[in-house]
Amino acid sequence: MIKIMFVCHGNICRSPMAEFIFRDMVKKRGESDLYCIASSATSSEEIGNGVHSGTKKKLKEHGISTDGKYAVKLRSDDYGKYDFFLGMDSRNIENMNKILANDKDNKIHRLLDFSNNPRDIADPWYTGDFDLTYNDVVEGCEALFEYIRGNNIKCKKGE
């Protein structure tokens, strides 16, 4: 399986949005069995809390449920378990590098670094703009999917 971890500050807005959008995307393409998709936080503030109501509402508009998702924290031992760690902004990347210690395998990226317009995804916790965040996350997830497909990244043997 190709293992992907989406990461943001609290794991209640952007990273679960990316997790569930990407899951929906690969499901609609009949490729769910090729991916392990998760999300986590760089901070401990929201651990155990459910997905933010704005994210839930926005995803529900697109027929995507976040049922059963609760915020979890990124751990140093996650590095060996995932192929990609996708932060939502530059600050997330700084914190991911601290938590994961050493990105010797170049697994850590901003989600929108795979797009034609690399940039941070604004945090709707502060902006209140879940529409903009949704559009950016969709753009990033589509670009990531095309990157994986275009670079012929395959599941590792035995996984």
pLDDT in tens, 62-72: 999 999 999 99
Q: What pLDDT, on the 0 to 100 scale, is given for residue 151?
A: 80
In the predicted model, is pLDDT for residue 155 greater than 90? no
Respond yes or no: is residue 14 known to be catalytic.
Answer: yes
Domain count, the chain: 1
The percentage of the chain sitting over the pLDDT mark of 70, rounded to a whole number, equals 96
- Does 50 reside within a domain? yes
- Does 100 reside within a domain? yes
Respond yes or no: is residue 149 known to be catalytic.
Answer: no
Q: What pLDDT, on the 0 to 100 scale, is given for residue 149?
A: 87
Which residue is catalytic, options 13, 14, 78, 89? 14
Which residue is catalytic, options 8, 13, 24, 78? 8
Which residue is catalytic, options 24, 78, 123, 136? 123
pLDDT in tens, 44-62: 999 999 999 999 999 999 9
In the predicted model, is pLDDT for residue 94 greater than 60? yes
In the predicted model, is pLDDT for residue 158 greater than 50? no
Domain containing residue 37: CATH number: 3.40.50.2300
**Average of per-residue pLDDT across 135-145:** 98
Respond yes or no: is residue 155 known to be catalytic.
Answer: no
Band of residue 157 on the pLDDT scale cut at 50, 70, 90: very low
**Residues of the domain holding 130:** 2-150
- Does 158 reside within a domain? no
Return the HEC string of the chain: CEEEEEEECCCCCHHHHHHHHHHHHHHHCCCHHHEEEEEEECCCCCCCCECCHHHHHHHHCCCCCCCCCECCECCHHHHHHCCEEEECCHHHHHHHHHHHCCCCCCCEEEHHHHCCCCCCCCCHHHHCCHHHHHHHHHHHHHHHHHHHHHCCCCCCCCC
- Does 157 reside within a domain? no
